[in-house]
Amino acid sequence: MNEQKVQKRPIAERLLAVIDIGSNSVRLVVFQGMHRNPHVVFNERVLCGLGRGVSATGAMEDKAVAKAHATLRRFALLCREMEVDDIEAVATAAVRDSSNGPDFVQQVRADCDFTVQILKGEDEALYSGLGVLSGMPRADGIAGDLGGGSLELMRIEDGQVHERVSLPIGPLRLLGTGDDNAGSVDAAISSALASVGWLKKGKGKNFYMVGGAWRTMARIHLHQDDWPLPELHQYTVQREAMLKLARTIEGMDKDSLSKITDAPGRRRQVLPLGARILTHVLETMRPKDVVTSGQGLREGLLYNRLSQKMRETDPFLSACKEMADATGRFPEHASKLMQWIGPLFDGESKDERRLRYAICLLSDVSWKAHPDFRAKHAFNKAFYGRYGAARHRERAFVAYALYILFGGWREGQGPRRAMKILDSKDMVLARRIGLALRLGQRLTGGTSKPLDYTWLSMDDKNLYLNIPVDRLEIDGSVVRKRLKRLAALMMLSPHVQPYEGKMKTHPKLPADISKLIAKQSA
């Protein structure tokens, strides 16, 4: 759709600009790299309020249109200056439903030299659903994207968007009716939701929230709950707790709303209606938990461009590998370390094994930091890093294991944050992985060869580091110290055990991990 000169950047560096012309805001996001975890190199939002008044008059207000055009001319200039490779511009409910929508789009084409696609309601729902799946591949339930002019609902299961619908119950649309009667507003919301027969299929599953008003509510809950990780993506709240907050916000007056510092002024105006819509959805669907998605329509448009093979890669592990390739000295060590410490983790689940591999990928991420701060640096990189699909528990688990790996013995402020998310079993497992990798890294001295001729083994009482007799020099006091610490955690007795003859074959990587590595390499 972009009429600009096509650049010849490699696919990993290609710039895609997504312009989202919504009922409340107009936003530009520039992504770098057509891969599973693209980098956001620019992100700007301007609240234009195109949807305000459409319900009452059937047209977008002149003032809002003028502000949107000025914003889009700025965005077009920025895209030219950045030399983006492609622009994908879409418009949603406000432009779709207004009588002056076609004229608006035509003027954008004339002023900005790019084409705006007016999305149908079901297409908007599809891309929003794909955005949720991009950030949460295992999402299972109902997703809802609340914009200013409409609510998109979609059923998500097995990595696919199934039923989907667009409902005309956005906060700006409801405000524009001029009917302040709460009963009439409730009736309009109830009637719209009643038309979605499959909404109740989500009972007992998750409800995934997308949209500025709902994300603001999630942020309010996060702060009230003093949650240790200030990350909205995958922030999870039980249904009753979110209902309680929504009902509180519904009843707020202007003075109370003005005290909410987690939202800009114009966002506060729609919060009570956004909360009322959420209340109706949760009461109708009755989900188990409410999960905030940091990704939606814009990410869905990008995800839609990826090949099926690229979509199937694990976004969390892809992000870890990308970080390892960019910052680690020996990213190729991850697979060998995974095999080398494998004998200590018999019986682990697939999810635990996946996290162990993520930690192996990041096991050299902090080598450039000052030795006194490596543990803290590694923790912060993992805990606060930009991952498209990391659950909060996964962030905490990986961060805590890396903290141990890089010698963080004292429970500093960072680890205390992780401990509020992890249970005792998680913490013991993370320590074991961290100490096992700490031993492996000291043994190798930066070369992977010692991992080929040494191996770990254990029985009910003992932990053995097996070393060939002709290479016993690889043993040392620091190696023994780290072996002792790992054995103590496992309540075993440590031993360095020389061996002669042919080395025992290292166990192969589990099939699920081999498959993940193959997909990443592809």
279 and 148 in a single domain? The answer is: yes
Q: Are residues 153 and 290 in the same domain?
A: yes
Last residue of a domain, one of 101, 119, 137: 119
H-helix or E-strand containing 91? strand 86-91
Distance separating alpha carbons of residues 513 and 402, to the nearest angstrom: 20
Q: With H, G, I as helix, E, B as strand and everything else as coil, classify residue 379.
A: helix
Sheet with 160-167, edge to edge strand ranges = 160-167, 151-157, 141-146, 206-210, 289-292, 236-238
Q: Let me know if residue 252 belongs to a domain.
A: yes
Residue 427, token pair as written in the block: 């913490």
At 178 the pLDDT is 55
Domain membership flag for residue 5: no
Q: Based on the fold, state whether residues 503 and 398 are members of the same structural domain.
A: yes
Question: Taking the alpha carbons of 198, 204, 210, 212 in that order, is the dihedral positive or negative?
Answer: positive
Q: What letter would DSSP give residue 151?
A: E
Do 129 and 273 share a structural domain?
A: yes
Q: Are 367 and 385 in contact (CB under 8 A)?
A: no
Q: Is residue 306 part of a domain?
A: no
Q: Put residue 211 in one of left, alpha, beta given phi > 0 → left and psi -120 to 50 → alpha.
A: left
Regarding whether 148 and 277 lie in a shared domain, the answer is: yes
Name the one residue in this structure whose structure tokens are 């905030």: 292
N- to C-terminal Cα separation, the chain = 28
Final residue belonging to a domain, choices 81, 103, 119: 119
Rounded to an integer, what distance in angstroms lies between the CA atom of residue 128 and that of residue 389? 16
At 249 the pLDDT is: 92
The answer as to whether 261 is a domain residue is yes
pLDDT of residue 179: 55
| 355, 247: one domain | no
Lookup result for tokens 């619908």: 165
Q: Look at the chain and report how many structural domains it folds into.
A: 3
Q: Are residues 194 and 68 in the same domain?
A: no
**pLDDT (0 to 100) of residue 8:** 65
Question: Has residue 10 been placed in a domain?
Answer: no
The reply to whether 308 falls in a domain is no
pLDDT at 4: 47
515 falls within a domain: yes
Residues 291 and 190 in one domain: yes
Locate 242 and state its tokens: 């979110």
Q: What H or E segment, with its residue span, contains residue 172?
A: helix 171-175
Report the run of H or E that residue 297 belongs to, with start and end. Answer: helix 297-303
Q: Looking at the whole model, is its pTM more than 0.75?
A: yes
Domain hosting residue 271, numbered range:
122-299
CATH number for position 43: 3.30.420.40
What are the 10-residue block averages of pLDDT along the chain, 522 residues in total? 55 90 95 86 94 89 97 97 96 95 97 96 97 95 95 96 95 72 86 95 96 93 94 96 95 78 68 94 97 95 91 89 80 86 93 95 88 91 86 96 88 82 95 96 83 92 95 92 96 95 72 71 58
Instruction: Indicate if 101 and 238 belong to the same structural domain.
Output: no
Whole-number pLDDT of residue 180: 57
Beta-ladder partners of 47: 25
Residues 6+ apart with CB under 8 A from 87: 1, 2, 4, 16, 17, 18, 19, 79, 114
Examine the fold and report which residue of 274, 299, 324 is the final residue of a domain before the chain moves on: 299
Look at strands 289-292 and 160-167 and give their pairing: unpaired
Q: What is the CATH number of the domain that holds 153?
A: 3.30.420.150
Task: Quote the CA–CA distance of 210 and 166 in Å, as a whole number.
Answer: 14
Please report, for residues 6, 7, 40, 88, 311, the alpha-carbon distance to residue 85 in angstroms, rounded to integers and kept in the order given.
6, 5, 14, 10, 21
In a domain, 2, yes or no: no
Chain position carrying tokens 């080398």 = 340
